[in-house]
Amino acid sequence: MRWPPWVGRVVRTVVVTAFVLGATSGASRWQSGVPMTPLAAAWLAATGLTLLLVHRFPLTLFLVTAASAFGYYASGLPGGPVVLVPTIALFVLTRQRGPVTAGSTGAAALAAAYVVHIVLTRSFALEVGAGFLVVWLVAVIGVGTAVRYQLDALAARREQADEHRHRLAEQERLRIAREVHDVVAHSLAMINVQAGVAAHVADRRPEQAKEALLNIKTASASALNDLRATLAVLRSGEDKAPAPSLAQAGELLDHARDAGLTVDVHGAPGDLPAPVDAAAYRILQESLTNVVRHADRPSRVDVRFERRPGTFTLRVRDDGRGTAQPNAGHGLRGMGERAAALGGRCSTGPVDGGFEVCVELPIEGEA
């Protein structure tokens, strides 16, 4: 449980005031001919209670408490630690306004006290206590400055930590959004195509309609499994989902063939680092999904894997007619984000006789 800030201020004020009163009362017993009077007690209490508002008016209350302490000592009342009150006020002033403001204010207060001393004593001579006041001023401002910088450093570290956590959470949110989009978009595209085939041939070729329905069942089951794995990661907070891999690319290619496309594969990906392997799989998945969903009457898709020292290249080209530069939707943007996250690049656009996706991903450790 965290107490409200005012509780700490009240406790501090009460403790300091009680200490000043108690210490001064005790000291008065050892000071011959200087008894503790109601006036002295009232003066000390009034000075100490100003600390209740020092957090709001640090500069004003430092001057007030310093003048009150100076006047108290000059009045001949019992000596005591009333200097503790302006000390706390000066410390708060340094923390809130900085050492420059605190130093100039403290110097002005000492100068004013010296002028009053000259007026009262008609002498320019300084006593030993004047040196103590200078040392006191420098010490309090030094401690207050150190605490101020330490607190600022802690606040900066907390802010950086919060920003880092926010950035990690945002990256994780985008990653999960891409995963869900890729799984759902690919599966629904294949289901939509197969459902169209089933509806078209249901009366004339029931066997082909049955095959399309079985393909729908397979695609939907695969999508559900992937979604369950993604949701399990969200619930557990641990990345326990199996990572996608180009070793499973055959399933994607079969889905495209079931949708009526001729798929030609050139080259082989070989062994890839897990992050590159997973990103390439998702980009291939999204590319085939876009062919099925958006290409204009495509019949053929060429998938090409290329390995060069330090680089893996994936190209997916279709022969859709009259393809124009598409708007950057979630799929194209997701492919670019996946490539950029690994230090690679992804280019998409129309080519002669269709549309091509080309992604280059770096492979660390290869030369």
> What pLDDT sits at residue 241?
52
- Cβ(255)–Cβ(212) under 8 Å? no
Q: What are phi and psi of 236, to 5 degrees?
A: -85, -25
Fill in the amino acid letter for 327: N
**Domain residue ranges of the chain, discontinuous segments joined by +:** 5-125, 245-367
- pTM higher than 0.75: no
Which pLDDT tens digit goes with each residue over 34-53? 788 889 999 999 999 999 99
Which pLDDT tens digit goes with each residue over 230-243? 666 566 555 555 56
Q: What are phi and psi of 204, to 5 degrees?
A: -90, -40
Q: How far is CA 196 from CA 189, 191, 256, 289, in A?
A: 11, 8, 15, 16
Number of helices (H), then strands (E), in the chain? 10, 5
Which pLDDT tens digit goes with each residue over 307-360? 988 899 999 999 886 555 565 556 788 888 889 888 899 998 888 878 999 999
Q: Is the pLDDT of residue 180 over 80?
A: no
Reported as half-sphere exposure (CB side, CA atoms, 13 A), residue 21 has a value of: 18
> What pLDDT sits at residue 266?
93
> How far apart, in whole angstroms, are the C-alpha atoms of residue 44 and residue 3?
28
- Cβ(88)–Cβ(49) under 8 Å? no
What is the rounded average pLDDT of the residues 98-109?
Answer: 92
Tell the CATH superfamily of the 245-367 domain.
Answer: Histidine kinase-like ATPase, C-terminal domain (3.30.565.10)
> What pLDDT sits at residue 327?
59
Structure tokens at 53: 């508002």
Which pLDDT tens digit goes with each residue over 77-101? 888 899 999 999 999 999 999 999 9
> What pLDDT sits at residue 105?
93
